[in-house]
Amino acid sequence: MLKKALFATLISMSLNVWADNSIVEVKTNQGTVEIELFNDKAPISAKNFEEYAKAGFYNDTIFHRVIPGFMIQGGGMDIQLVEKQTRAPIQNESYNGVKNTRGTLAMARTNNPNSATSQFFINTADNGFLNKSPMNAGYAVFGKVIKGMDVVDKIEKVSTGNEGMHQNVPETPVVIQSVKIKAPAVKK
């Protein structure tokens, strides 16, 4: 019995190249959300998000698009809805098999599948139509909310309107005050 337990432990250890994924704290004026990044399943997107966070890029940006029953989107505009200067776009990792389900974090992009930069969204519902399929390039999921989904739900319920060419903009800004990496992924 001891041999079986030891063997199972050794197999498990050899299959797990990564220790824990990174844990990120997103402080907003509506409360704090804690997110586990999927460094193991979406390394490009997770690294991209971490680099923006380390640079302080997300500080004082807003959730500029809020659609109840769908998602909340932010990470690229300041309180005046001016888009911040970003780095080069990244490769779409929607092929990773992780689905756009309630509480997951995904990269926002244009119609070009490889156009994601800093903006992200949190799914507030299961959004299967955003997953990769033969007819859809999909949206890359790279994390999930592990604490503070009540804060996401609170943000989802704010009053929104149109602001210039932008739709579904919170009437009272939902500010991302800071994004900090609480625990980075550790390679074993």
Token pair 């769908």 in the structure block, residue: 70
**Could you tell me if 107 and 92 are in contact, meaning their C-beta atoms sit under 8 angstroms apart?**
yes
pLDDT above 80: residue 12: no
Burial zone of 157 (CB within 10 Å; 0-12 exposed, 13-18 middle, 19+ buried): exposed
> Tell me, what's the pLDDT at 20?
84
What are the CA-CA distances from residue 149 to residues 103, 110, 137, 182 (Å)? 7, 26, 27, 18
User: Got the DSSP string for the chain?
Assistant: -HHHHHHHHHHHHHH--B-SPPEEEEEETTEEEEEEE-TTT-HHHHHHHHHHHHTTTTTTEEEEEEETTTEEEESSB-TT-PBPP--------GGG-----TTEEEE---SSTT---S-EEEESS--GGGS-BTTB----EEEEEEE-HHHHHHHHTS-EEEETTEEEEESS--EEEEEEEEE---B-
pLDDT above 70: residue 26: yes
pLDDT in tens, 119-148: 999 999 999 999 999 999 999 999 999 999
Q: How confident is the model at residue 186 (pLDDT cuts 50, 70, 90)?
A: confident
Average pLDDT over residues 159-186: 96
Q: How confident is the model at residue 19 (pLDDT cuts 50, 70, 90)?
A: low
Average pLDDT over residues 3-19: 44
Q: What is d(CA 26, CA 182) in angstroms, rounded to the nearest whole number?
A: 10
pLDDT in tens, 47-104: 999 999 999 999 999 999 999 999 999 999 999 999 999 999 999 999 999 999 999 9
Q: What is d(CA 45, CA 66) in angstroms, rounded to the nearest whole number?
A: 22
Q: How confident is the model at residue 14 (pLDDT cuts 50, 70, 90)?
A: very low
> Tell me, what's the pLDDT at 105?
98
What percent of the chain shows pLDDT beyond 90?
Answer: 87
> Tell me, what's the pLDDT at 7?
43
- The CATH homologous superfamily of the domain defined by 18-183: Cyclophilin-like (2.40.100.10)
